[in-house]
């Protein structure tokens, strides 16, 4: 390892100053550090982000899909480029670190490369992907999805609760929907070499194990369930208990069955019921219909599909005992995406060479990396989240851990730059 590369040590105070400055740009009307996609706050934050990219020494090219792409030119512009980044939008009531650490951390890594005169062979692209968090249109990772060619024309017709189409939101944000759909063009013609994303863990594993770095093994697949329970509405005062077909009681059993399935998962698996809507909802009527929304996530594909089948059967069986029919529909939000072994290997050996302890960890949350994996081999670096908290104002990662993450990111980029292929 050259002595120049040894000097790539991030300056924590610079990352901290950037984190603080970006955190100031949040929606004053909302809880926490809210900066949701397409909002005026988000627009302002991205103006700031663009100027930070320029200050760090990047040439900034916004693409048609609303991603901010900062380029650090390498010696060989024809070589497939390295790509890193994450997102700077938040959920409503979100925190200051989710996604943000990956973009601001990458900027510090770039500053280190420039200051210590470490010239990469390949171009390095630092991307702030548009709207990673799931939005009112029920679609996450807008920018990375578009780059990977996974955003369809039909998606632009999705409507939010006010009836506004996604395509119209793009237009109001100053983006042409047809450019959004063709944005994958540049990513395909540009040829990408490897993608690595630095992110906060958003779970408790690293803190529990007292390890500063997680090397992600796989990003969990997400299967969403919509179940409709059809019983019979009856007078709540006169229908005897044994003669009822109470849809809500059947759904309540199903909630517990979902939980039980999640608790029985090996490796990493979780199952959550997030919504029950009971009708008619009158105090004196036995519930006749219930709609239930649940999801299961795991990095174990076999468990996920077996658990889906078990759950469907068990929910039907238990509901049948109450005289309630169930219609269960599943849809896959994200397929489980393992990280690429070659990138995993480079990240872990970068941590080893820096003397930094690491552990392999699964990711229960989804990330832009899922989509960029369609374009090139992908890997992720995690830093600990205090108490495993995320998507809340209390979300916190220690600066020392973030700095370690940035250092591992920098070393990983240098090593990936030298990897052939």
Point out which residues bind Zn ion (CB under 5 A). Answer: 98-99
By beta-carbon proximity to Zn ion, the closer residue of 99 and 203 is 99
By beta-carbon proximity to Zn ion, the closer residue of 98 and 123 is 98
Q: Which residues contact 142 (CB under 8 A, 6 or more apart)?
A: 37, 65, 66, 129, 130, 131, 132, 135, 151
Smallest separation, CB 397 to Zn ion (Å): 12
Give the residue carrying structure tokens 């469907």: 312
Smallest separation, CB 88 to Zn ion (Å): 10
By beta-carbon proximity to Zn ion, the closer residue of 8 and 146 is 146
Distance CA 3, CA 206 (A): 31
By beta-carbon proximity to Zn ion, the closer residue of 99 and 262 is 99
**Which CA distances in Å does 307 have to 183, 231, 364, 404?**
37, 25, 17, 38
Tell me which residue has its CB nearest to Zn ion.
99
Smallest separation, CB 35 to Zn ion (Å): 12
By beta-carbon proximity to Zn ion, the closer residue of 98 and 201 is 98
Smallest separation, CB 4 to Zn ion (Å): 32
Smallest separation, CB 405 to Zn ion (Å): 14
Beta carbons of 88 and 107 less than 8 angstroms apart: no
Q: Which residues contact 306 (CB under 8 A, 6 or more apart)?
A: none
Q: Which residues contact 61 (CB under 8 A, 6 or more apart)?
A: 69, 70, 71
By beta-carbon proximity to Zn ion, the closer residue of 99 and 167 is 99
| Residue 167 Rama label (left phi>0; alpha psi -120 to 50; beta) | alpha
Smallest separation, CB 314 to Zn ion (Å): 33
Other C-beta atoms closer than 10 Å to the C-beta of 17 total: 12
Smallest separation, CB 363 to Zn ion (Å): 10
By beta-carbon proximity to Zn ion, the closer residue of 366 and 404 is 366
């Amino acid at each position: 390892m050259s002595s120049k590369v040894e000097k790539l040590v991030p300056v924590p105070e610079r990352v901290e100053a950037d984190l603080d400055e970006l955190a100031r740009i949040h929606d004053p009307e909302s809880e926490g550090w809210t900066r949701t996609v397409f909002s005026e706050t988000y627009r302002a934050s991205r103006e700031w982000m663009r100027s930070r990219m320029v200050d760090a020494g990047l040439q900034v090219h916004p693409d048609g899909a609303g991603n901010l792409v900062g380029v650090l030119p390498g010696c060989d512009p024809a070589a497939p480029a390295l790509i890193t980044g994450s997102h700077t939008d938040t959920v409503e009531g979100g925190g200051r670190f989710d996604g943000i650490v990956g973009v601001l951390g990458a900027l510090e890594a770039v500053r280190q490369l420039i200051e210590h005169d470490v010239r990469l062979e390949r171009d390095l692209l630092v991307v702030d992907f548009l709207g990673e968090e799931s939005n009112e249109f029920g679609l996450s990772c807008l920018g990375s999805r578009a780059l990977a060619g996974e955003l369809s024309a039909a998606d632009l017709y999705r409507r939010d609760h006010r009836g506004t189409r996604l395509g119209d939101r793009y237009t109001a944000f100053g983006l042409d929907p047809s450019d959004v759909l063709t944005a994958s063009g540049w990513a395909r013609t540009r040829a990408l070499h490897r993608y690595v994303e630095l992110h906060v863990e958003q779970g408790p594993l690293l803190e529990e194990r007292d390890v500063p770095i997680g090397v992600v093994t796989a990003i969990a697949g997400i299967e969403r369930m919509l179940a409709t329970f059809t019983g019979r509405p009856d007078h709540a005062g006169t229908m005897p208990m044994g003669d009822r077909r109470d849809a809500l009681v059947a759904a309540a059993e199903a909630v517990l069955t979902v939980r039980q399935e999640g608790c029985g998962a090996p490796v990493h698996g979780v199952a959550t019921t997030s919504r029950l809507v009971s009708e008619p909802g009158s105090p004196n009527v036995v519930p006749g219909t219930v709609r239930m929304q649940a999801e299961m996530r795991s990095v174990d594909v076999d468990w996920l599909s077996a658990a889906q089948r078990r759950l469907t059967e068990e929910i039907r069986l238990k509901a049948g005992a109450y005289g309630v029919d169930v219609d269960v529909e599943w849809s896959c939000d994200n397929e489980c995406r393992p990280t690429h072994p070659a990138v995993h290997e480079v990240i872990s050996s970068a941590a080893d060479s820096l003397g930094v302890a690491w552990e392999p960890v699964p990711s229960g949350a989804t990330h832009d990396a899922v989509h960029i994996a369609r374009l090139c081999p992908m890997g992720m670096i995690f830093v600990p989240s205090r108490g495993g908290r995320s998507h809340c104002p209390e979300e916190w990662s220690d600066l020392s851990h973030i700095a370690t993450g940035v250092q591992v990111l920098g070393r990983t980029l240098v090593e990936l730059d030298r990897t052939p292929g």
